[in-house]
Structures are given as C-alpha cells and as structure tokens.
Amino acid sequence: MTLTIALPSKGRMKDGAIAVFARAGLAVSAIGNDRSYRGRVEGIDDVEVAFLSASEIARELGAGAVDLGVTGEDLVRESLVRADERVEICARLGFGHADVVVAVPDIWKDVDSMADLGDVAADFRARHGRRLTIATKYWRLTQNFFSTRHGIQLYRIVESLGATEGAPASGAADIIVDITSTGSTLTANHLRILSDGVILKSEACLVRARKPEHDGDPRMAALLAAVRAVAG
Ligand SMILES: Nc1ncnc2c1ncn2[C@@H]1O[C@H](COP(=O)(O)OP(=O)(O)OP(=O)(O)O)[C@@H](O)[C@H]1O
Ligand SMILES: O=P(O)(O)OC[C@H]1O[C@H](OP(=O)(O)OP(=O)(O)O)[C@H](O)[C@@H]1O
C-alpha cells in the first residue's frame, strides 16, 4: 500500500514544509512540471506526495484520505470534530506560528478578560436590543471557547472569510476571533486581545491520520523519525 503525504501547494506553509522535509533528508519534487499537484520523495518508491491547500490537508487527514500531512494546528482543530480521535499531531515544526485570539475594540476600556466579556454579553440585549456579535471564520474554536470553556452563551457568530479585523469598524460585528502573528493588523484596526483571550497557539505541524495499518509500518516509523529529528 502506498503512503500519501499531503504538503501545502501554496501559501504560507508551502516553503517551510518543503524545507523541513529537505532537512529531514526527504527531497520532495513535483511529478511532471511545477504546476503538478502530485509529487514524490526522491529515493522512496512507495510514498507519494499530494499538494493541497493547508485547509484541505486538515480535512483530508480527518477523512483518512491521506496518511500524513503538514498543516496548521488551527486548521486541524477548526476542521475536525474530536480532532485528537481522528488524527495525531506527531511533531510541531517551528514555523507558521500564529495565535487564534479574541479581540475587542480598544475603546472598550472596561473589558479586559473573558469574564468581563461575559458580563457585556449578558447585558447586550437589554442595552442594544440584540446579541453580541463575533466576526470569525473559526466557528468551532469560537463556540468551544465561549460556550464550553467560559460558559458564555449569549452571542451570535457572523461568518467572515476575510478582512475580519475590519468588522467592528464597519459595524458588521462587535468583536472578532481571528489569527494573528505580529499583531500589526489588530493594532491598525484599533483592536486589543483580551488578557485571557488566546484560544490556541498554533504552528505548522506534522499530522498523521489515525489508521491501524500504520502500526508496525516501517515506512511510517522512518518518516516520523526523520521529521521529528529536525523539527522545531
Ligand atoms: N499571519 C498569519 N495569518 C494567517 N495565517 C497564518 C499566519 N501565520 C501563520 N498562519 C498559518 O497559515 C494558515 C493559513 O495558510 P494559507 O492561507 O496558506 O491556508 P489556506 O487556508 O489553506 O488557504 P486558502 O484559504 O487560500 O485555501 C493559518 O491557518 C495558520 O495556520
Ligand atoms: O498579526 P499579523 O501579522 O498582522 O497577521 C494577521 C493577519 O494576517 C492574515 O491575513 P492576510 O492579510 O495574510 O490575508 P488572509 O486573510 O488571506 O490570510 C490574518 O487573517 C490576519 O488578518
């Protein structure tokens, strides 16, 4: 049986993933020309590479359609219900660092923590005639953090697929949940992370689909050992 490794075809994760594999002695090349979405690892015949987008890699790992993949932990935890039952994070790769955070307008001076935000949410309908709204593409992470972790139930998620930080200023939502690395987009949009508002500290990870046939497969053991030796 051929093992399939999914690597990012584009975007932030692509170069870092190829570089980690190269350091691990696994030289990845595209089959055919550079636009090809299939590749191979030089010198290893029964392993194939599929080039996919980072978010697709998370979904394909969850479905068991690929064996190993490199993608962001945020995408794994957002895309998959009970992610730890379906996949294993085998190594943290030391690039693609970004935090998924709860951020509020700077001018909300009295709101520093999730508890403060809970108070605001509880009063919101009485004050404004509607629920507190949160712009995000991270539905699952937001619901888990607000409802399960902090017991905040009175809010509404407004889906945002881009320029999320602009939502409070445009009136599309009151607050946001989004990914940040340098923090400059938040600052430019007059937003502030709550003191306990970091939902997840994400980075690029080597992730394995949990499949029984991997147990005792020397190819899987060798791939994991090689990448782990150079991770971080
Ligand atoms: N500053 C950052 N902003 C956004 N994502 C970042 C940042 N730094 C690291 N990342 C990581 O990169 C991932 C997004 O990468 P990319 O845009 O290539 O993925 P994608 O969602 O598959 O792309 P697309 O939406 O085009 O299909 C994030 O989910 C996160 O893990
Ligand atoms: O904390 P920072 O370093 O400012 O980075 C965070 C920003 O970068 C990403 O957006 P990007 O503009 O790259 O576009 P994208 O939403 O298409 O990923 C992300 O969605 C944030 O908006």
Average pLDDT over residues 44-59: 95
Q: Are residues 104 and 86 in the same domain?
A: no
Closest CA to ligand 2's atom 17: 162
Please answer whether residues 64 and 211 qualify as being in contact, where contact means their C-beta atoms are separated by less than 8 angstroms: yes
Strands (E), 35-109: 38-41, 44-52, 68-72, 87-92, 98-105
Minimum-distance ligand to the CA of 101?
A: 2
pLDDT on residue 180: 98
Q: How many helices, marked H, and strands, marked E, lie in the chain? A: 9, 12
Instruction: Return the SS3 of 96.
Output: coil
Contacts of 1 (CB under 8 A, 6+ apart): 46, 213
Per-residue tokens: 44: 């290893």
* d(CA 185, ligand 1 centre) in Å: 15
* d(CA 210, ligand 2 centre) in Å: 31
Average pLDDT over residues 17-21: 97
Instruction: Return the SS3 of 12.
Output: coil
* d(CA 12, ligand 1 centre) in Å: 6
**In 3D, which of 150, 168, 163 has the Cα closest to residue 114?**
150
Average pLDDT over residues 193-197: 98
Closest CA to ligand 2's atom 12: 163
Q: Are residues 93 and 124 in the same domain?
A: no
Question: For the chain, what percent of residues have pLDDT higher than 90?
Answer: 94
Whether residue 34 is predicted with pLDDT greater than 80 in this model: the reply is no
Q: Are residues 182 and 225 in the same domain?
A: no
Q: Are residues 161 and 89 in the same domain?
A: no
What is the average pLDDT value for the chain, to the nearest integer?
Answer: 96
| Ligand 1 interacting residues, C-beta cut-off 6 A | 11-13, 53-55, 72, 74-75, 96, 98, 179, 181, 202
pLDDT on residue 45: 87
Q: Cα(197)–Cα(182) distance, rounded to whole angstroms?
A: 16
Q: What phi-psi label fits residue 113: left (phi over 0), alpha (psi between -120 and 50 degrees) or beta?
A: beta
pTM: 0.96
Closest CA to ligand 1's atom 30: 72
pLDDT on residue 32: 85
Which domain covers residue 42, as residue numbers? 3-97+203-230
Tokens 């700077």, residue located? 106
Q: How confident is the model at residue 205 (pLDDT cuts 50, 70, 90)?
A: very high
Q: Cα(197)–Cα(19) distance, rounded to whole angstroms?
A: 32
Q: Are residues 120 and 70 in the same domain?
A: no
pLDDT on residue 215: 95
pLDDT on residue 1: 87
Q: Are residues 58 and 125 in the same domain?
A: no
Q: Cα(102)–Cα(204) distance, rounded to whole angstroms?
A: 21
pLDDT on residue 135: 98
pLDDT on residue 36: 76
What's the structural domain count of the chain? 2
Whether residue 21 is predicted with pLDDT greater than 80 in this model: the reply is yes
Q: Give Cα separations from 214 to 45, 68, 75, 208, 221 (angstroms).
A: 17, 10, 23, 9, 8
Q: Which amino acid type is present at position 22?
A: A
* d(CA 10, ligand 1 centre) in Å: 10
Q: Are residues 80 and 169 in the same domain?
A: no
Q: Give Cα separations from 46 to 112, 160, 178, 225 (angstroms).
A: 53, 41, 39, 17
Q: Are residues 120 and 196 in the same domain?
A: yes
Q: Are residues 12 and 89 in the same domain?
A: yes
Whether residue 33 is predicted with pLDDT greater than 90 in this model: the reply is no
Please answer whether residues 37 and 99 qualify as being in contact, where contact means their C-beta atoms are separated by less than 8 angstroms: no
pLDDT on residue 90: 98
Q: Are residues 192 and 102 in the same domain?
A: yes
Average pLDDT over residues 97-102: 98
Q: Are residues 215 and 146 in the same domain?
A: no
| Ligand 2 interacting residues, C-beta cut-off 6 A | 162, 165, 178-185
Whole-complex ipTM? 0.94
Number of C-beta neighbours around residue 101 at 10 A: 22
Per-residue tokens: 189: 């949009």
Q: Are residues 66 and 111 in the same domain?
A: no
Q: Quick: pLDDT tens for 57-97.
A: 999 999 999 999 999 999 999 999 999 999 999 999 999 99
Whether residue 169 is predicted with pLDDT greater than 90 in this model: the reply is yes
Question: For the chain, what percent of residues have pLDDT higher than 70?
Answer: 100
pLDDT on residue 35: 74
Phi, psi torsion values for 51, nearest 5 degrees = -95, 120
Residue 48: which CATH number? 3.40.190.10
Average pLDDT over residues 129-133: 97
